[in-house]
A = this chain, B = another copy of it.
Amino acid sequence: MRQFRLGVAGAGKIVRDQHLDAIRATEGLELVASADPHSRLEDVASYASLEEMLDAEPDIDAVAICTPAHLRHRLASQALARGKAVLLEKPPGATLAEVQDLKAQAEKAGLTLFAAWHSRFAPGIAAAAEWLAGRRVEGVDIRWHEDVRVWHPGQAWLWEAGGMGVFDPGINALSIVTALLPDPFFLKRANLVVPANAQTPIAATLEWRTADGVLLSGDFDFRHEDPPCWEMTFVTDGGTLTLEAGGARLIADGRTLIDEPEREYQGVYAHFHSLLEAGQRDMDITPLQQVADALMLGHRQATEAFVDDDGSA
């Protein structure tokens, strides 16, 4: 197994909560450095910027970009320009123009680029794909509900333009459906419920159709009492499949096939390693396109102002 030396750009909460353990658990990957102007990691060389890190550690093979989304394009471009492979946390950029450009850069340079939609690596997803493979999907129903005060406390950026609101978690559901459905699907209508003091939806209902007319419905809601409901159901000509707990639990016709603890990021890094070994890319931007379509086509309906638990609005 080939060994690859990894640096992370951004050393914030998601890196500490998820990436560090997942990288350590992945054979063939070694974390050697981090770059963050505000935060240092223990046990690895820490630099204040990506440029410093790449200057000081020329042997780095790949960089995981885990900064806020609006910084990803600039940093990923820097890494690609220096011949490094790149993993992008989700979403892979702030705009479609950015992610298309990164894709074009990586293709031109022949470098590995991976848009890491972590929910695609939930324990039940691979088995769901297998189960669905022999069946014809006749309908999909997505329910993605959580309490924003519990899961995103104080994240005021969620409510600002570009923050995506309920689509910040909702894009995880879309990343699963786009991976599991063999056919593309097209937004037909969307209703976006937007707090009077916010720019982004606190809830959304959506309807898509495949070219064959199969209906997909989505219900995304931040106003949900804990525990969260991250579920979707596939109705097929050969039974009904339900993913629960964000994909950690898989139930076919009432029978539980998978029920495992969440370990999505191990799957992310195992896949990244296989892309690095094969010199391949996996830069699927369809989940972000679906969110853009929802925000472009959705009908906005005002609702009461949102006030976070800390009193911020």
Contact = CB atoms under 8 A, between A and B. Distances in A.
Contacts of A77: 211
A100 interface: yes
A299 B184 contact: no
Contact of A95 (B96, B161, B293): B293
Contacts of A95: 186-187, 293, 296-297
Interface in A11-31: none
Interface of A: 73-74, 77, 94-98, 100-101, 104, 160-162, 164, 184-187, 190, 199, 211, 286, 289-293, 295-300
A161 B299 contact: yes
6 contacts: A74-B211, A95-B186, A97-B185, A98-B186, A161-B299, A291-B296
Contact of A295 (B101, B104, B190, B296): B296
A94 B297 contact: yes
A160 to B, nearest CB: 8
Given A97-B185, A186-B97, A162 B296 contact: yes
A220 to B, nearest CB: 16
A101 B186 contact: yes
Nearest to A81: B211
A119 to B, nearest CB: 19
A164 to B, nearest CB: 8
A97 B296 contact: no
A101 B199 contact: no
A300 B185 contact: no
A98 B209 CA distance: 11
Nearest to A97: B186
Contact of A290 (B97, B104, B187): B97
A295 to B, nearest CB: 5
A199 B194 CA distance: 12
The 3 closest A-B pairs by CB, nearest first: A161-B299, A95-B293, A292-B292
A161 B94 CA distance: 22
A95 B207 CA distance: 13
A288 to B, nearest CB: 9
Given A161-B297, A161-B298, A199-B300, A186 B289 contact: no
Contacts of A296: 95-96, 162, 164, 291-292, 295-296
A96 B96 contact: yes
